[in-house]
Amino acid sequence: MLPCLPFAIALSLALHAGVLFWDARKLSLPTAPPPIEASLQSPAPPPARHNEPLMKNTLTDDPAPVKAVPPAPPAARALPPNARAAARHQIEAAQRKLSQHLYYPPAAVARGLEGEVRLLLTIADDGSITDVVVAASSGHALLDQAAVKAAYTMGRIDWANSREFILPVIFRLE
């Protein structure tokens, strides 16, 4: 063995021990935070109360009370007797035309979904359908989408008297 080897090992151990103890001396245990001090304070005095109420009653200060007049009921529009029949005929004609384009979605048939969708159709002056909105949902998105798609594919409705009407679409499994 070389005569310098024990001296080198001793020197290495002394240096490593010095570095470790030097770091250990720098690392001190954390000190406890100072205790929390609490003190009670007397409550703030209540705000001064005014004799005037928060809300003033303006009804009693008026010397001559005014009687309230109930609003007049809206004037009932009297439909001619044939207008109801014409509207019913219009809806039946639209349902017949819709039945040519309506299909029952296979996914809805597989799940056994049934329901009634009410569509609000907006019709242009030339009889074309400009907008279809679900006025009352069936509760199933598949049926609602199938009804809207079929309404758009109906094309022109030349016989329609009004510019908007509600069209019921019924989905029933037999």
How high is the mean pLDDT in each 10-residue block of the chain (174 residues)?
81 85 62 74 72 63 58 63 73 80 86 90 84 90 91 78 81 84
Q: Residue 98 class from Cβ within 10 Å (0-12 exposed, 13-18 middle, 19+ buried)?
A: buried
**CA–CA distance, 133 with 172 (Å, rounded to integer):** 21
The answer to whether residues 118 and 169 touch, using CB atoms and an 8 Å cutoff, is yes
Domain extents in the chain: 85-171
Residue 123 confidence (pLDDT): 85
Predicted confidence at residue 145, as pLDDT, reads 92
Sheet of 129-136: strands edge to edge? 129-136, 115-123, 164-171
What is the model's pLDDT at position 32? Answer: 73
Phi, psi (rounded to 5 degrees) for 73: -65, 150
- The answer to whether the CB of 127 falls within 8 A of the CB of 162 is no
Looking at residue 5, its pLDDT comes to 85
User: Is 0.85 surpassed by the pTM of this model?
Assistant: no
Degrees to nearest 5, angle at CA 51 with 45 and 54: 90
Distances (CA, A) of 41 to 9, 37, 44, 102, 127: 69, 13, 9, 78, 80
pLDDT at 166: 84
Overall CATH class of domain 85-171 = alpha beta
Q: Enumerate residues 6+ apart whose C-beta is below 8 A from 151.
A: 98, 119, 121, 129, 132, 167, 169
Provide the pLDDT for residue 156: 79
